[in-house]
Amino acid sequence: MTQQEPGVLLNGWVRTKATRKHNFISAISELVFKTFAIAELEIRKLRHDPTDLAVRAVQPALWLLIFGQVFSKIRAIPTGGNLPYLDFMTAGILAQSVLFVAIFTGGMTLIWERDLGIVHKFLASPTPRVAMVLGKAVACGVRCLSQVFIIYGLALLLGVKLNLHPLAIIKVLLIVLMGASCFCIFSLIIGCLVKTRERMTGIGQLLTMPLFFASNAIYPISLMPNWLKFISHINPLTYEVDALRGTMLLNGTSLYGFGLDCTVLLLTLIILTLICGKLYPRVAM
């Protein structure tokens, strides 16, 4: 009876060790697959309450129809160049709409799922925590895409000169997806910490308006005092608005450039995802 050589299976096949490259590709593919699986579950919720998309469109419509029309008439806020104020603020109102939807969707949904016991089931599964976070962020981004078409429709009715080139529209959709994902994960982080719907609602209302007004959404950064300029430069919403203003408007310009705006949003998304992935298990405690 001969002794079997080490490293050889009973069927005679040689045992091969998985390479690091193979393991890395498998991990990435699994992360992507489970992220989209979570996103698909979240998007299905829209079938139960599709009116939520229409309700979310009321606030940006009021901003454009009332605030934008009034300030366009009095010309109180300079925009630089020959860009009309209504054109200037259209990109900011789109970013504001995305911000509000993301903040009040992420954390509130997480706490609601915790109360129903859904989060506990996900945490007991082998799904990576990062995939859970990114899945919800992607779903929120898809939800916010409806705001793009609503704002575009209102802007065209009001005479805003939009850039309707297909590439420009694709860039706008990309920026909206990234911006919504960033603020959705930010909301998830808050939801992991506060754990109650009442606190989440209060903190969400407390954060949305400062984030909005400490950006270049409705007035240029040059009009801000120095302390507010500093906050604006570290506010991700500023870069989202800048990218939208330079892309969706026919005569729009970008202060930082589309590449830098995307880089800032992407880095913010990665950092917030890693933080939220670490905090996610706290929801079930």
As a three-state string, the secondary structure of 125-187 is CCCCHHHHHHHHHHHHHHHHHHHHHHHHHHHHHCCCCECCCHHHHHHHHHHHHHHHHHHHHHH
Is 215 inside a domain boundary?
yes
Residue 33 · residue 132 · CB < 8 Å: no
Annotate 81-90 with b (16+ C-beta within 10 A) or e (fewer): eebbbbbbbb
Is 45 inside a domain boundary?
no
- Return the pLDDT at 261: 95
State both tokens at 74. Answer: 């009095």
The total of structural domains in the chain comes to 1
Which of these, 172, 184, 142, 188, lies nearest to 46 by C-alpha position? 142
CA distance 122 to 105: 19
**Could you tell me the residue range of the domain that residue 61 belongs to?**
51-70+82-284
SS3 state at 8: strand
State both tokens at 138. Answer: 């992607």
DSSP at 256:
S
> Taking the chain (285 residues) in consecutive chunks of 10 residues, what is each chunk's mean pLDDT?
48 50 74 82 74 73 79 71 84 91 85 80 81 89 88 90 93 94 92 82 85 89 90 94 93 89 95 90 72
State both tokens at 58. Answer: 């009321």
- Return the pLDDT at 19: 58
pTM for this prediction? 0.84
Q: Which residues pair with 14 in a beta bridge?
A: 8
Rounded to 10 degrees, what is the CA torsion of 49, 50, 54, 60? 80
Backbone φ and ψ for 51, nearest 5 degrees, come out as -65, -15
CA distance 283 to 285: 6
Is 11 inside a domain boundary?
no
